[in-house]
Structure 1
Amino acid sequence: MKIDDYELLLKLNDIGTIRGAAKAILISQPAVTQRLKYIEDYFGETIFIRTSKSLVLTPAGELILEHANKVIQEEKVIKNALAQSSGEVQGSLSIACSSLVSQRFLPAILGDYTNAYPKVAIDLVTGISEDIKREHKNYHVCIIRGERLKETVSELLFSDPLYMFDTEPFPTDKLKERPLISFKTDDSMHELVDNWLYHHQKQIKPIKMLHVDQIETCKQFMQQGLGMAVLPKSVSDSMMDDYPHIPLQLDGDPVTRDTWVSYQEGVRKLPQVDQFLSAILDKKFL
Protein backbone atom coordinates (compact mmCIF):
# COMPACT_ATOMS: atom_id res chain seq x y z
CA MET A 1 0.00 0.00 0.00
CA LYS A 2 1.20 3.47 -0.92
CA ILE A 3 0.47 6.74 0.82
CA ASP A 4 -1.46 7.77 -2.31
CA ASP A 5 -3.80 4.81 -1.77
CA TYR A 6 -4.58 5.86 1.77
CA GLU A 7 -5.12 9.45 0.62
CA LEU A 8 -7.53 8.18 -2.06
CA LEU A 9 -9.60 6.40 0.59
CA LEU A 10 -9.87 9.58 2.62
CA LYS A 11 -10.81 11.57 -0.48
CA LEU A 12 -13.50 9.04 -1.45
CA ASN A 13 -14.94 9.16 2.05
CA ASP A 14 -14.83 12.95 2.16
CA ILE A 15 -16.46 13.53 -1.25
CA GLY A 16 -18.71 10.49 -1.27
CA THR A 17 -18.60 9.58 -4.95
CA ILE A 18 -16.06 8.01 -7.28
CA ARG A 19 -16.80 10.64 -9.91
CA GLY A 20 -16.24 13.51 -7.48
CA ALA A 21 -13.01 12.03 -6.14
CA ALA A 22 -11.70 11.44 -9.66
CA LYS A 23 -12.40 15.07 -10.54
CA ALA A 24 -10.73 16.31 -7.36
CA ILE A 25 -7.48 14.39 -7.89
CA LEU A 26 -7.48 14.82 -11.67
CA ILE A 27 -7.56 11.20 -12.78
CA SER A 28 -10.20 9.17 -14.62
CA GLN A 29 -13.13 7.40 -12.96
CA PRO A 30 -12.00 3.96 -14.21
CA ALA A 31 -8.56 4.58 -12.66
CA VAL A 32 -10.13 5.43 -9.30
CA THR A 33 -12.37 2.35 -9.49
CA GLN A 34 -9.39 0.15 -10.31
CA ARG A 35 -7.32 1.54 -7.43
CA LEU A 36 -10.21 1.09 -5.00
CA LYS A 37 -10.59 -2.54 -6.12
CA TYR A 38 -6.87 -3.09 -5.54
CA ILE A 39 -7.11 -1.64 -2.03
CA GLU A 40 -10.16 -3.74 -1.16
CA ASP A 41 -8.43 -6.86 -2.51
CA TYR A 42 -5.34 -5.97 -0.45
CA PHE A 43 -7.35 -5.85 2.79
CA GLY A 44 -9.76 -8.59 1.75
CA GLU A 45 -12.71 -6.43 2.76
CA THR A 46 -15.34 -4.25 1.13
CA ILE A 47 -14.58 -0.68 2.18
CA PHE A 48 -17.46 1.16 0.50
CA ILE A 49 -20.95 0.06 -0.49
CA ARG A 50 -21.85 1.71 -3.81
CA THR A 51 -25.36 3.21 -3.80
CA SER A 52 -27.08 5.28 -6.48
CA LYS A 53 -26.30 8.49 -4.60
CA SER A 54 -23.04 8.01 -2.71
CA LEU A 55 -20.47 5.67 -1.23
CA VAL A 56 -21.37 4.25 2.18
CA LEU A 57 -18.56 3.21 4.51
CA THR A 58 -18.77 -0.35 5.83
CA PRO A 59 -17.78 -1.33 9.41
CA ALA A 60 -14.54 -2.80 8.02
CA GLY A 61 -14.12 0.39 6.00
CA GLU A 62 -14.35 2.49 9.16
CA LEU A 63 -11.42 0.57 10.66
CA ILE A 64 -9.40 0.88 7.46
CA LEU A 65 -10.11 4.63 7.23
CA GLU A 66 -8.99 5.06 10.82
CA HIS A 67 -5.77 3.23 9.94
CA ALA A 68 -5.36 5.40 6.80
CA ASN A 69 -5.60 8.56 8.89
CA LYS A 70 -2.92 7.29 11.26
CA VAL A 71 -0.59 6.32 8.43
CA ILE A 72 -0.89 9.72 6.75
CA GLN A 73 -0.39 11.62 10.00
CA GLU A 74 2.65 9.51 10.90
CA GLU A 75 4.08 10.14 7.44
CA LYS A 76 3.71 13.89 7.96
CA VAL A 77 5.30 13.69 11.40
CA ILE A 78 8.39 11.84 10.18
CA LYS A 79 8.80 14.11 7.14
CA ASN A 80 8.57 17.20 9.32
CA ALA A 81 11.01 15.73 11.85
CA LEU A 82 13.50 14.95 9.10
CA ALA A 83 13.12 18.42 7.63
CA GLN A 84 13.64 20.06 11.01
CA SER A 85 16.68 17.93 11.89
CA SER A 86 18.43 18.46 8.58
CA GLY A 87 17.85 22.20 8.44
CA GLU A 88 17.21 21.84 4.71
CA VAL A 89 13.98 23.23 3.33
CA GLN A 90 12.08 20.06 2.47
CA GLY A 91 9.21 17.96 3.82
CA SER A 92 5.52 18.82 3.51
CA LEU A 93 3.69 22.12 3.75
CA SER A 94 -0.08 22.03 4.27
CA ILE A 95 -2.02 25.21 3.53
CA ALA A 96 -5.73 25.97 3.85
CA CYS A 97 -6.59 29.16 2.01
CA SER A 98 -9.60 31.34 1.34
CA SER A 99 -10.82 30.82 -2.23
CA LEU A 100 -10.42 34.50 -3.15
CA VAL A 101 -6.81 34.66 -1.93
CA SER A 102 -5.96 31.34 -3.56
CA GLN A 103 -7.22 32.58 -6.94
CA ARG A 104 -5.97 36.16 -6.78
CA PHE A 105 -2.64 36.08 -4.92
CA LEU A 106 -1.45 32.59 -4.00
CA PRO A 107 -0.37 31.27 -7.44
CA ALA A 108 2.44 33.81 -7.77
CA ILE A 109 3.58 33.28 -4.18
CA LEU A 110 3.63 29.50 -4.53
CA GLY A 111 5.33 29.78 -7.92
CA ASP A 112 8.27 31.63 -6.41
CA TYR A 113 8.29 29.36 -3.36
CA THR A 114 8.37 26.08 -5.29
CA ASN A 115 11.12 27.41 -7.55
CA ALA A 116 13.20 28.23 -4.48
CA TYR A 117 12.36 25.03 -2.56
CA PRO A 118 11.52 22.25 -5.03
CA LYS A 119 11.84 19.50 -2.39
CA VAL A 120 8.80 20.73 -0.44
CA ALA A 121 5.56 18.84 -1.09
CA ILE A 122 2.64 21.28 -0.92
CA ASP A 123 -0.84 20.19 0.14
CA LEU A 124 -3.29 22.99 -0.64
CA VAL A 125 -6.97 23.11 0.32
CA THR A 126 -9.18 26.06 -0.63
CA GLY A 127 -12.63 27.04 0.52
CA ILE A 128 -14.75 29.30 2.68
CA SER A 129 -12.99 30.78 5.70
CA GLU A 130 -15.56 29.42 8.18
CA ASP A 131 -14.89 25.86 7.00
CA ILE A 132 -11.13 26.40 7.23
CA LYS A 133 -11.42 27.68 10.78
CA ARG A 134 -13.17 24.50 11.91
CA GLU A 135 -10.33 22.35 10.54
CA HIS A 136 -7.42 24.71 11.19
CA LYS A 137 -5.47 22.24 13.35
CA ASN A 138 -5.05 19.97 10.32
CA TYR A 139 -2.85 22.50 8.49
CA HIS A 140 0.48 24.19 9.01
CA VAL A 141 -0.83 27.54 7.71
CA CYS A 142 -4.33 28.96 7.30
CA ILE A 143 -5.11 32.05 5.22
CA ILE A 144 -8.56 33.30 6.12
CA ARG A 145 -10.79 36.34 5.68
CA GLY A 146 -12.98 38.02 8.24
CA GLU A 147 -12.20 37.71 11.92
CA ARG A 148 -8.82 36.48 13.12
CA LEU A 149 -8.52 32.85 14.15
CA LYS A 150 -8.44 32.47 17.92
CA GLU A 151 -6.00 30.13 19.68
CA THR A 152 -3.40 30.69 16.94
CA VAL A 153 -0.73 33.19 16.00
CA SER A 154 -2.59 35.45 13.54
CA GLU A 155 -0.94 38.18 11.51
CA LEU A 156 -2.80 40.66 9.34
CA LEU A 157 -1.92 40.37 5.64
CA PHE A 158 -4.12 43.19 4.35
CA SER A 159 -7.41 45.01 4.83
CA ASP A 160 -9.60 44.83 1.74
CA PRO A 161 -11.99 47.82 1.31
CA LEU A 162 -15.51 47.00 0.13
CA TYR A 163 -17.35 48.83 -2.66
CA MET A 164 -20.86 48.66 -4.03
CA PHE A 165 -20.96 48.49 -7.83
CA ASP A 166 -23.80 48.87 -10.32
CA THR A 167 -24.34 49.69 -13.97
CA GLU A 168 -26.63 52.54 -12.88
CA PRO A 169 -25.49 55.70 -11.03
CA PHE A 170 -25.79 56.16 -7.27
CA PRO A 171 -27.94 59.29 -6.78
CA THR A 172 -27.30 61.52 -3.79
CA ASP A 173 -30.75 63.10 -3.61
CA LYS A 174 -33.11 60.11 -3.73
CA LEU A 175 -33.50 56.50 -2.66
CA LYS A 176 -31.85 53.95 -4.93
CA GLU A 177 -33.94 50.76 -5.27
CA ARG A 178 -32.23 47.88 -7.06
CA PRO A 179 -31.75 44.11 -6.73
CA LEU A 180 -28.69 43.09 -4.71
CA ILE A 181 -26.51 40.24 -5.97
CA SER A 182 -24.56 38.27 -3.38
CA PHE A 183 -22.07 35.41 -3.71
CA LYS A 184 -21.42 32.40 -1.49
CA THR A 185 -19.14 33.40 1.35
CA ASP A 186 -18.98 33.14 5.13
CA ASP A 187 -21.37 34.88 7.50
CA SER A 188 -18.95 37.63 8.51
CA MET A 189 -19.05 39.11 5.00
CA HIS A 190 -22.85 39.11 4.95
CA GLU A 191 -22.88 40.76 8.37
CA LEU A 192 -20.65 43.59 7.15
CA VAL A 193 -22.95 44.26 4.18
CA ASP A 194 -26.17 43.96 6.20
CA ASN A 195 -24.86 46.34 8.85
CA TRP A 196 -23.84 48.90 6.21
CA LEU A 197 -27.24 48.65 4.48
CA TYR A 198 -29.00 49.15 7.81
CA HIS A 199 -27.14 52.43 8.35
CA HIS A 200 -27.84 53.57 4.76
CA GLN A 201 -31.44 52.47 4.37
CA LYS A 202 -32.50 56.00 3.43
CA GLN A 203 -30.08 55.99 0.49
CA ILE A 204 -30.14 52.38 -0.78
CA LYS A 205 -32.89 49.77 -0.63
CA PRO A 206 -32.42 46.29 -2.11
CA ILE A 207 -35.74 45.24 -3.64
CA LYS A 208 -34.78 41.58 -3.96
CA MET A 209 -31.77 39.32 -3.50
CA LEU A 210 -30.00 37.30 -6.16
CA HIS A 211 -27.74 34.59 -4.74
CA VAL A 212 -24.95 33.08 -6.85
CA ASP A 213 -22.16 30.64 -6.06
CA GLN A 214 -18.95 32.39 -7.11
CA ILE A 215 -17.67 35.95 -6.82
CA GLU A 216 -16.87 35.97 -10.57
CA THR A 217 -20.49 35.07 -11.34
CA CYS A 218 -21.58 37.92 -9.08
CA LYS A 219 -19.38 40.35 -11.03
CA GLN A 220 -20.74 39.16 -14.37
CA PHE A 221 -24.36 39.47 -13.23
CA MET A 222 -23.67 43.03 -12.07
CA GLN A 223 -21.95 43.87 -15.37
CA GLN A 224 -25.03 42.61 -17.22
CA GLY A 225 -27.20 45.09 -15.32
CA LEU A 226 -29.00 42.57 -13.11
CA GLY A 227 -28.39 44.56 -9.93
CA MET A 228 -25.92 45.94 -7.40
CA ALA A 229 -23.04 43.95 -5.93
CA VAL A 230 -20.71 44.50 -2.99
CA LEU A 231 -17.19 43.49 -3.99
CA PRO A 232 -13.77 43.77 -2.32
CA LYS A 233 -11.15 46.00 -3.90
CA SER A 234 -8.84 43.00 -4.46
CA VAL A 235 -11.12 41.64 -7.20
CA SER A 236 -12.72 44.82 -8.50
CA ASP A 237 -10.02 47.49 -8.84
CA SER A 238 -9.96 47.03 -12.64
CA MET A 239 -13.71 47.83 -12.80
CA MET A 240 -13.60 51.19 -11.07
CA ASP A 241 -13.11 53.21 -14.26
CA ASP A 242 -15.98 51.46 -16.05
CA TYR A 243 -18.83 51.11 -13.52
CA PRO A 244 -20.51 53.43 -11.00
CA HIS A 245 -19.48 52.54 -7.46
CA ILE A 246 -19.37 53.88 -3.92
CA PRO A 247 -17.13 52.88 -1.00
CA LEU A 248 -18.75 51.24 1.99
CA GLN A 249 -18.08 53.52 4.96
CA LEU A 250 -19.37 53.85 8.51
CA ASP A 251 -18.72 57.06 10.46
CA GLY A 252 -16.19 58.07 7.82
CA ASP A 253 -14.15 54.85 8.14
CA PRO A 254 -13.95 52.31 5.32
CA VAL A 255 -15.65 48.95 5.79
CA THR A 256 -12.97 46.35 5.12
CA ARG A 257 -12.61 42.61 4.82
CA ASP A 258 -9.46 41.64 6.71
CA THR A 259 -7.21 38.79 5.56
CA TRP A 260 -5.10 36.90 8.11
CA VAL A 261 -2.38 34.27 8.04
CA SER A 262 -2.74 31.98 11.06
CA TYR A 263 -0.56 29.20 12.40
CA GLN A 264 0.10 27.25 15.59
CA GLU A 265 2.75 28.40 18.05
CA GLY A 266 6.06 26.67 17.31
CA VAL A 267 5.30 25.64 13.73
CA ARG A 268 7.92 28.07 12.41
CA LYS A 269 10.58 25.70 13.71
CA LEU A 270 9.90 23.75 10.51
CA PRO A 271 12.09 25.36 7.83
CA GLN A 272 9.56 24.86 5.02
CA VAL A 273 6.81 26.58 7.04
CA ASP A 274 9.07 29.38 8.21
CA GLN A 275 10.19 30.17 4.65
CA PHE A 276 6.60 30.20 3.36
CA LEU A 277 5.44 32.47 6.18
CA SER A 278 8.36 34.81 5.54
CA ALA A 279 7.44 34.97 1.85
CA ILE A 280 3.77 35.70 2.40
CA LEU A 281 4.35 38.23 5.19
CA ASP A 282 6.76 40.15 2.95
CA LYS A 283 4.19 40.31 0.15
CA LYS A 284 2.45 43.62 -0.59
CA PHE A 285 -1.11 42.70 -1.52
CA LEU A 286 -2.93 45.96 -2.20
Structure 2
Amino acid sequence: MKIDDYKLLLKLNEIGTIRGAAKAILISQPAVTQRLKYIEEYFGEPIFIRTSKNLVLTPAGEMILDHANKIITEEKTIKNALAQSSGEVQGSLSIACSSLVSQRFLPSILGEYTNAFPKVTIDLVTGISEDIKREHKNYHVCIIRGEKLKETVSELLFEDPLYIFDTEPFPSNKLKERPLISFKSDDSMHELVDNWLYHHQQRIKPIKMLRVDQIETCKQFMEQGLGMAVLPKSVSETMMDEYPHIPLQLDGNPVTRDTWVCYQEGVRNLPQVDQFLSAVLNEKFL
Protein backbone atom coordinates (compact mmCIF):
# COMPACT_ATOMS: atom_id res chain seq x y z
CA MET A 1 0.00 0.00 0.00
CA LYS A 2 1.18 3.48 -0.88
CA ILE A 3 0.45 6.74 0.89
CA ASP A 4 -1.52 7.81 -2.20
CA ASP A 5 -3.79 4.79 -1.73
CA TYR A 6 -4.65 5.89 1.80
CA LYS A 7 -5.22 9.43 0.57
CA LEU A 8 -7.55 8.09 -2.11
CA LEU A 9 -9.64 6.27 0.50
CA LEU A 10 -9.98 9.45 2.56
CA LYS A 11 -10.96 11.46 -0.53
CA LEU A 12 -13.57 8.86 -1.52
CA ASN A 13 -15.04 8.96 1.98
CA GLU A 14 -14.99 12.79 2.03
CA ILE A 15 -16.69 13.28 -1.35
CA GLY A 16 -18.84 10.16 -1.35
CA THR A 17 -18.65 9.24 -5.04
CA ILE A 18 -16.04 7.72 -7.31
CA ARG A 19 -16.80 10.29 -9.99
CA GLY A 20 -16.41 13.22 -7.57
CA ALA A 21 -13.16 11.88 -6.12
CA ALA A 22 -11.72 11.31 -9.60
CA LYS A 23 -12.53 14.90 -10.54
CA ALA A 24 -10.99 16.23 -7.30
CA ILE A 25 -7.68 14.39 -7.71
CA LEU A 26 -7.53 14.85 -11.50
CA ILE A 27 -7.42 11.22 -12.60
CA SER A 28 -9.92 9.17 -14.60
CA GLN A 29 -12.94 7.49 -13.03
CA PRO A 30 -11.90 4.00 -14.28
CA ALA A 31 -8.47 4.49 -12.71
CA VAL A 32 -10.06 5.30 -9.33
CA THR A 33 -12.35 2.27 -9.62
CA GLN A 34 -9.42 0.01 -10.44
CA ARG A 35 -7.34 1.40 -7.58
CA LEU A 36 -10.18 0.91 -5.09
CA LYS A 37 -10.62 -2.67 -6.28
CA TYR A 38 -6.91 -3.32 -5.66
CA ILE A 39 -7.07 -1.81 -2.16
CA GLU A 40 -10.11 -3.89 -1.22
CA GLU A 41 -8.38 -7.03 -2.52
CA TYR A 42 -5.28 -6.10 -0.50
CA PHE A 43 -7.28 -5.94 2.74
CA GLY A 44 -9.60 -8.78 1.77
CA GLU A 45 -12.67 -6.79 2.76
CA PRO A 46 -15.10 -4.42 1.01
CA ILE A 47 -14.42 -0.86 2.17
CA PHE A 48 -17.46 0.84 0.64
CA ILE A 49 -20.97 -0.22 -0.28
CA ARG A 50 -21.86 1.28 -3.67
CA THR A 51 -25.37 2.75 -3.62
CA SER A 52 -27.13 4.66 -6.39
CA LYS A 53 -26.30 7.97 -4.69
CA ASN A 54 -23.01 7.59 -2.84
CA LEU A 55 -20.43 5.38 -1.19
CA VAL A 56 -21.20 4.06 2.30
CA LEU A 57 -18.44 2.84 4.61
CA THR A 58 -18.63 -0.79 5.76
CA PRO A 59 -17.62 -1.72 9.34
CA ALA A 60 -14.32 -2.97 7.93
CA GLY A 61 -14.02 0.27 5.95
CA GLU A 62 -14.35 2.33 9.13
CA MET A 63 -11.36 0.49 10.64
CA ILE A 64 -9.34 0.84 7.45
CA LEU A 65 -10.13 4.58 7.20
CA ASP A 66 -9.05 5.04 10.81
CA HIS A 67 -5.80 3.27 9.93
CA ALA A 68 -5.40 5.48 6.82
CA ASN A 69 -5.74 8.63 8.94
CA LYS A 70 -3.06 7.40 11.33
CA ILE A 71 -0.68 6.46 8.52
CA ILE A 72 -1.01 9.86 6.82
CA THR A 73 -0.64 11.74 10.12
CA GLU A 74 2.51 9.75 10.99
CA GLU A 75 3.91 10.37 7.50
CA LYS A 76 3.42 14.13 7.89
CA THR A 77 4.94 14.07 11.36
CA ILE A 78 8.11 12.30 10.29
CA LYS A 79 8.48 14.49 7.19
CA ASN A 80 8.15 17.63 9.29
CA ALA A 81 10.63 16.31 11.85
CA LEU A 82 13.14 15.51 9.11
CA ALA A 83 12.62 18.92 7.51
CA GLN A 84 13.19 20.67 10.82
CA SER A 85 16.38 18.73 11.59
CA SER A 86 17.93 18.80 8.12
CA GLY A 87 17.91 22.57 7.65
CA GLU A 88 16.64 22.03 4.11
CA VAL A 89 13.18 23.30 3.25
CA GLN A 90 11.10 20.18 2.63
CA GLY A 91 8.26 18.25 4.27
CA SER A 92 4.54 19.01 3.99
CA LEU A 93 2.67 22.30 4.11
CA SER A 94 -1.09 22.26 4.70
CA ILE A 95 -3.04 25.40 3.80
CA ALA A 96 -6.72 26.26 4.12
CA CYS A 97 -7.58 29.39 2.16
CA SER A 98 -10.63 31.53 1.46
CA SER A 99 -11.94 30.92 -2.05
CA LEU A 100 -11.56 34.55 -3.10
CA VAL A 101 -7.93 34.75 -1.95
CA SER A 102 -7.10 31.37 -3.48
CA GLN A 103 -8.42 32.50 -6.87
CA ARG A 104 -7.12 36.05 -6.88
CA PHE A 105 -3.78 36.00 -5.05
CA LEU A 106 -2.60 32.52 -4.05
CA PRO A 107 -1.58 31.11 -7.48
CA SER A 108 1.28 33.59 -7.93
CA ILE A 109 2.44 33.15 -4.32
CA LEU A 110 2.45 29.36 -4.58
CA GLY A 111 4.08 29.51 -8.00
CA GLU A 112 7.10 31.35 -6.63
CA TYR A 113 7.13 29.22 -3.48
CA THR A 114 7.15 25.86 -5.28
CA ASN A 115 9.87 27.05 -7.64
CA ALA A 116 12.02 28.01 -4.65
CA PHE A 117 11.21 24.91 -2.57
CA PRO A 118 10.32 22.02 -4.90
CA LYS A 119 10.69 19.36 -2.17
CA VAL A 120 7.74 20.70 -0.16
CA THR A 121 4.48 18.78 -0.55
CA ILE A 122 1.51 21.18 -0.48
CA ASP A 123 -1.96 20.19 0.67
CA LEU A 124 -4.42 22.96 -0.20
CA VAL A 125 -8.07 23.23 0.78
CA THR A 126 -10.22 26.18 -0.33
CA GLY A 127 -13.68 27.24 0.77
CA ILE A 128 -15.75 29.60 2.87
CA SER A 129 -13.94 31.18 5.83
CA GLU A 130 -16.63 30.00 8.25
CA ASP A 131 -15.94 26.35 7.31
CA ILE A 132 -12.17 26.83 7.50
CA LYS A 133 -12.42 28.27 11.01
CA ARG A 134 -14.15 25.14 12.30
CA GLU A 135 -11.33 22.92 11.02
CA HIS A 136 -8.40 25.32 11.51
CA LYS A 137 -6.41 22.97 13.77
CA ASN A 138 -6.03 20.55 10.84
CA TYR A 139 -3.84 23.01 8.90
CA HIS A 140 -0.48 24.70 9.31
CA VAL A 141 -1.79 27.97 7.87
CA CYS A 142 -5.29 29.40 7.40
CA ILE A 143 -6.07 32.45 5.26
CA ILE A 144 -9.53 33.70 6.12
CA ARG A 145 -11.84 36.66 5.56
CA GLY A 146 -13.87 38.51 8.19
CA GLU A 147 -13.13 37.97 11.88
CA LYS A 148 -9.68 36.74 12.90
CA LEU A 149 -9.18 33.47 14.80
CA LYS A 150 -8.72 34.46 18.42
CA GLU A 151 -7.03 31.23 19.53
CA THR A 152 -4.26 31.56 16.94
CA VAL A 153 -1.54 33.98 15.92
CA SER A 154 -3.46 36.18 13.46
CA GLU A 155 -1.82 38.78 11.22
CA LEU A 156 -3.75 41.21 9.04
CA LEU A 157 -2.92 40.83 5.35
CA PHE A 158 -5.15 43.56 3.92
CA GLU A 159 -8.38 45.49 4.34
CA ASP A 160 -10.68 45.08 1.35
CA PRO A 161 -13.14 48.02 0.92
CA LEU A 162 -16.67 47.13 -0.18
CA TYR A 163 -18.61 48.86 -2.97
CA ILE A 164 -22.15 48.52 -4.22
CA PHE A 165 -22.41 48.27 -8.02
CA ASP A 166 -25.27 48.49 -10.49
CA THR A 167 -25.83 49.12 -14.19
CA GLU A 168 -28.14 51.98 -13.20
CA PRO A 169 -27.00 55.21 -11.45
CA PHE A 170 -27.23 55.81 -7.71
CA PRO A 171 -29.27 59.04 -7.40
CA SER A 172 -28.49 61.28 -4.44
CA ASN A 173 -31.93 62.88 -4.19
CA LYS A 174 -34.34 59.93 -4.25
CA LEU A 175 -34.76 56.35 -3.05
CA LYS A 176 -33.21 53.68 -5.24
CA GLU A 177 -35.28 50.47 -5.33
CA ARG A 178 -33.59 47.55 -7.04
CA PRO A 179 -33.04 43.80 -6.51
CA LEU A 180 -29.89 42.93 -4.56
CA ILE A 181 -27.71 40.04 -5.73
CA SER A 182 -25.59 38.31 -3.10
CA PHE A 183 -23.10 35.44 -3.30
CA LYS A 184 -22.46 32.54 -0.94
CA SER A 185 -20.23 33.74 1.88
CA ASP A 186 -19.93 33.51 5.64
CA ASP A 187 -22.24 35.31 8.05
CA SER A 188 -19.82 38.17 8.75
CA MET A 189 -20.01 39.35 5.11
CA HIS A 190 -23.81 39.38 5.14
CA GLU A 191 -23.81 41.21 8.49
CA LEU A 192 -21.62 43.98 7.06
CA VAL A 193 -23.97 44.47 4.12
CA ASP A 194 -27.16 44.26 6.20
CA ASN A 195 -25.81 46.78 8.71
CA TRP A 196 -24.86 49.23 5.95
CA LEU A 197 -28.27 48.87 4.27
CA TYR A 198 -30.00 49.51 7.59
CA HIS A 199 -28.14 52.82 8.00
CA HIS A 200 -28.88 53.80 4.37
CA GLN A 201 -32.51 52.68 4.09
CA GLN A 202 -33.60 56.19 3.10
CA ARG A 203 -31.36 55.99 0.04
CA ILE A 204 -31.28 52.33 -1.05
CA LYS A 205 -34.04 49.75 -0.70
CA PRO A 206 -33.58 46.18 -2.02
CA ILE A 207 -36.94 45.04 -3.39
CA LYS A 208 -35.94 41.37 -3.52
CA MET A 209 -32.89 39.19 -2.97
CA LEU A 210 -31.17 37.04 -5.58
CA ARG A 211 -28.68 34.57 -4.09
CA VAL A 212 -26.03 32.84 -6.22
CA ASP A 213 -23.26 30.42 -5.39
CA GLN A 214 -20.10 32.27 -6.45
CA ILE A 215 -18.83 35.83 -6.56
CA GLU A 216 -18.13 35.62 -10.31
CA THR A 217 -21.77 34.65 -10.94
CA CYS A 218 -22.83 37.60 -8.80
CA LYS A 219 -20.73 39.96 -10.93
CA GLN A 220 -22.15 38.57 -14.17
CA PHE A 221 -25.74 38.92 -12.95
CA MET A 222 -25.08 42.54 -12.01
CA GLU A 223 -23.44 43.22 -15.38
CA GLN A 224 -26.56 41.84 -17.10
CA GLY A 225 -28.70 44.41 -15.28
CA LEU A 226 -30.42 42.01 -12.90
CA GLY A 227 -29.76 44.17 -9.85
CA MET A 228 -27.23 45.65 -7.44
CA ALA A 229 -24.27 43.74 -5.98
CA VAL A 230 -21.91 44.45 -3.09
CA LEU A 231 -18.39 43.47 -4.13
CA PRO A 232 -14.96 43.84 -2.53
CA LYS A 233 -12.36 46.02 -4.23
CA SER A 234 -10.08 43.01 -4.77
CA VAL A 235 -12.44 41.58 -7.42
CA SER A 236 -14.08 44.74 -8.74
CA GLU A 237 -11.32 47.31 -9.27
CA THR A 238 -11.41 46.90 -13.06
CA MET A 239 -15.18 47.49 -13.07
CA MET A 240 -15.11 50.93 -11.49
CA ASP A 241 -14.69 52.88 -14.73
CA GLU A 242 -17.53 50.97 -16.39
CA TYR A 243 -20.35 50.66 -13.85
CA PRO A 244 -22.03 53.07 -11.40
CA HIS A 245 -20.94 52.37 -7.84
CA ILE A 246 -20.61 53.92 -4.40
CA PRO A 247 -18.33 52.93 -1.51
CA LEU A 248 -19.86 51.42 1.61
CA GLN A 249 -19.13 53.82 4.47
CA LEU A 250 -20.36 54.28 8.03
CA ASP A 251 -19.63 57.48 9.95
CA GLY A 252 -17.21 58.48 7.19
CA ASN A 253 -15.17 55.26 7.50
CA PRO A 254 -14.99 52.63 4.77
CA VAL A 255 -16.67 49.28 5.42
CA THR A 256 -13.99 46.68 4.77
CA ARG A 257 -13.70 42.91 4.52
CA ASP A 258 -10.49 42.06 6.39
CA THR A 259 -8.22 39.19 5.37
CA TRP A 260 -6.06 37.39 7.96
CA VAL A 261 -3.36 34.76 7.95
CA CYS A 262 -3.67 32.58 11.05
CA TYR A 263 -1.43 29.86 12.48
CA GLN A 264 -0.70 28.05 15.72
CA GLU A 265 2.02 29.26 18.06
CA GLY A 266 5.32 27.51 17.29
CA VAL A 267 4.43 26.33 13.78
CA ARG A 268 7.01 28.71 12.28
CA ASN A 269 9.70 26.41 13.69
CA LEU A 270 8.97 24.29 10.61
CA PRO A 271 11.11 25.80 7.80
CA GLN A 272 8.55 25.12 5.06
CA VAL A 273 5.81 26.89 7.04
CA ASP A 274 8.06 29.80 8.00
CA GLN A 275 9.08 30.37 4.37
CA PHE A 276 5.46 30.31 3.19
CA LEU A 277 4.33 32.72 5.89
CA SER A 278 7.19 35.05 5.02
CA ALA A 279 6.10 35.00 1.37
CA VAL A 280 2.47 35.75 2.28
CA LEU A 281 3.31 38.51 4.75
CA ASN A 282 5.62 40.21 2.25
CA GLU A 283 3.00 40.18 -0.51
CA LYS A 284 1.38 43.47 -1.56
CA PHE A 285 -2.27 42.48 -2.04
CA LEU A 286 -4.02 45.77 -2.85
Q: Partner amino acid for 2:145?
A: R
Matches within 5 A, 1:147-162: 147-162=147-162
SS in 1 for 2:164: strand
**What are the Cα deviations for residues 232-260 of structure 1, in whole angstroms up to 9, with x where unaligned?**
00000000000000000011110000000
SS of aligned partner of 2:162: strand
Equivalent in the alignment of 1:257: 257
List aligned pairs for 1:175-194, cutoff 5 A. 175-194=175-194
After superposition, where does 1:1-286 map in structure 2 within 5 Å?
1-286=1-286
The alignment's TM-score, normalised by the length of structure 1, stands at: 0.99
TM-score calculated relative to the size of structure 2: 0.99
Q: Give deviations 1:136-188, integer Å, cap 9, x for gaps.
A: 11110000000001211000000000000000000000000000000111111
User: 1: CA distance between counterparts of 2:34 and 2:137?
Assistant: 33
- Distance in 2 (CA, whole Å) between partners of 1:73 and 1:232 is 37
Question: How many Å apart are 1:75 and its aligned residue?
Answer: 0.3
> Shift of the alpha carbon at 1:216?
0.4
CA distance in 2, matches of 1:22, 1:30: 9
Q: Using the alignment, how far apart are the partners of 1:38 and 1:206 within structure 2? A: 56
Secondary structure, counterpart of 2:151 in structure 1: coil
Q: Secondary structure at the match of 1:45?
A: coil
Q: Distance in 2 between matches of 1:37 and 1:150?
A: 45
C-alpha distance in 2 between matches for 1:135 and 1:5: 23
**SS state at 1:180 partner:** strand
Q: Distance in 2 between matches of 1:109 and 1:54?
A: 36
Opposite residue 62 of structure 1, the aligned amino acid is: E
CA RMSD of aligned residues (A): 0.5
What amino acid is aligned across from residue 241 of structure 2 in structure 1? D
Give the whole-Å Cα distance in 2 for the aligned partners of 1:95 and 1:163.
29
SS of the equivalent of 2:126 reads strand
Identity, % of aligned pairs? 88
Q: Distance in 1 between matches of 2:161 and 2:120?
A: 34
Q: How much has 1:59 moved relative to structure 2?
A: 0.6
SS, match of residue 78 in structure 1 = helix
Alignment partner of 2:167: what SS?
A: coil
Distance in 2 of aligned mates of 1:23 and 1:195: 40
TM superposition shift of 1:124:
0.7
Counterpart-to-counterpart distance in 1, 2:190 and 2:80: 39
Q: Which amino acid aligns with 1:166?
A: D
1:145 is aligned with what amino acid? R
